[in-house]
Every structure is written in C-alpha cells, then in structure tokens.
Amino acid sequence: MFLGIVFKLLSAFLFTVMAALVRAVGLEVPLGEVVFARSFFALIPIVLWLMWRGVFRAALRTDRQSGHMLRGMIGVSSMFLMFAGLARLPLPDATALGYASPLFVVIFAAVLLGERIHAARWTSVAVGLAGVLVILWPQLSTGALANVLKSGAAADETAAGAAFALGATVLTAAAMIQIRRLTDTEGTGTIVFYFSVWSAVAGLASAPILGWVWPEPKTAMLLVATGCVGGVAQILLTESYRRADASLIAPFEYSTILWALVIGFVLFGDVPSIWTVVGGAIVVGSGVAVAWRERQLGIKRARVRKAAPQSPTG
C-alpha cells in the first residue's frame, strides 16, 4: 500500500515535468510533432517494462483492436487539446483545469454506463464545476472565452488556452470511460501499449495538415525527454494502482499542483491568479470528496460481499 502511494506521487511529479517540457517546446514545433514525440518515445520505457515483466507478447494479443482504436482517438484528441492549452496557459492554470476530469467521469459514467450516482456525488460534481467557472472567470467576465468558442479565433491566447484545456479535460474523462470498458477483457499493458501506438500514428498523420519541422538539437532532446518521461510516468501510475486501491491513491493526484506551482514559477515565471487559487481549491476539494465517497462505497460493498452467505460446494 505504501509503495503504491510512493509510485503515485512519483508519477504525478513526472507528469508535471512532462507538461513543463511540452510547454517549453509547444510553440516551437507543430502540435502533431509534439504528440508524436510524446507517444513514440514513450514506447521505449513501456516496451522495456513489458519485456522485464515477461508480458510483452501477451500485451500484443487483443481481439478488441477497434476498442483500442476508439480509446486512442479519444485520448489523442485530448492530448492535442491539452498540449495546445499548455503552450498558451500558465502551468498551474492548466493543471487546475485538468483536475475537473474526474468530475466529468462521474457524469459520463451515469449517462454512458448507466451507473447509479447518489446525491452526495452529484453535489460534489456541481461544486467542482463551480470551481472550474471560478478558474475561468477572468476569460468569462471579459467575453474572451466566448469569442474563442464562438468564432474559433485565438486572438486572446490565454482564452484559447483555457478553451483547449477545458476540452482536453472533457475528452480525458471520455477516455477513462472507454478504458473502463476495455478492462473487462484487456490487461493494463495492452491498453497502455496500443494507446501509445495509435497516438504516435495520429501525431505522424497530422504532418500534412499541421506541418513538420526538423528541430534544433536542444528542442529534439526536449521532445525525446517528453516521451520518455511520459512513458515512465505511465508505468509508475500503472504500478501504483497495482499495489493500492484506486480510491486510496486517487487524492494524491492533486500533489501535481504543488509541482506545477514550483516548476511553473522557476522555469516560466508563472504566478497563479487569485481565481486559479480559489477555483483550484474548490475543484480539488470536490475531487477529494468524490474519491472519499468512492472509498466508502467500496468498503461497504466489500463488507456486504463478506457477510453474504456462501453457496454450498461439494
């Protein structure tokens, strides 16, 4: 259990480092090239990890390639939007908006999976979405965000970044729903491997539309690092869920805000606004409430199963 928490904290740190690397190169090379690098070079640690565990060949076997393709399409769309947002937003702002993803997961689980959601979780979702509105208030109050959504214009880069980040948050939640469907028959290694493959293909396929450049040596190193760091972060995240209950370690995701504040300030001089601080705190609080409620329900279900009479055997 302790090791699961440690791995979760390390993955949160590395994902924040990856986000900082994306922001550093985000406006220097085409977006599709960044997506390709993040996905293709992530395969290096992922393949080595699968081989070390002796499950590489097993991870390649699947009868649900269409399901992996759908997960990849949703996930890579989220990645495109997230990277576009990171290139235009302060790191703490983009991180805080990303925290709304679990709230959208609850909504999608009710609508798409038919899960029964009790009033307590709906209340947490409503409060969390109010926190998102607080974060976005500077753009909402000036009408900048509405103009971006209405016309697609990116005259206000910050408003465009907020719109991209919010869209990425919604699509990330949709990807999580697809992952839930895949886990019925697919292993974690299979899901991670094919997501990286499909994302790399999508990034490469975008070259005729978004362009492609031969990066300077420093930028090339940052692109390779983006993929490798992201791949290691995925492995640590997977191992964390292998060693501890999801409801226990989920709140540790919010440690990324601390890293985002430090890395954002040191590398980019980012200073979060009061709206980001207040709204982020509301979103984090609601997310922790949802995770806590999930843990309580999990404990309750386990007790019910334990108390249920066992059918006779023999």
Residue 314 domain flag: no
Domain that holds residue 303: 2-307
Which pLDDT band, with edges at 50, 70 and 90, does 183 fall under?
A: confident
The per-residue pLDDT for 247 is 61
Quote the distance between the C-alpha of residue 177 and its chain's center: 12
CA separation for the pair 58, 261 (Å, rounded): 40
Residue 169 domain flag: yes
Cβ atoms 168, 81 nearer than 8 A: yes
Residue 312 domain flag: no
Which pLDDT band, with edges at 50, 70 and 90, does 56 fall under?
A: very high
Quote the distance between the C-alpha of residue 119 and its chain's center: 26
Residue 295 domain flag: yes
pLDDT reading at 302 higher than 50: yes
The residue type found at 118 is H
Q: Tell whether pTM > 0.85.
A: no
Number of domains into which the chain is organized: 1
Residue 57 domain flag: yes
Residue 185 domain flag: yes
The residue-averaged pLDDT of 263-291 equals 87
The H-assigned helical ranges of 119-255 are 119-142, 144-151, 157-182, 188-205, 207-210, 217-243, 246-249
Residue 220 domain flag: yes
The per-residue pLDDT for 313 is 44
The residue-averaged pLDDT of 15-23 equals 94
The residue-averaged pLDDT of 209-220 equals 93
Residue 252 domain flag: yes
Structural tokens at position 210: 């978004």
Q: What is the mean pLDDT of the chain?
A: 85
Structural tokens at position 287: 């997310």
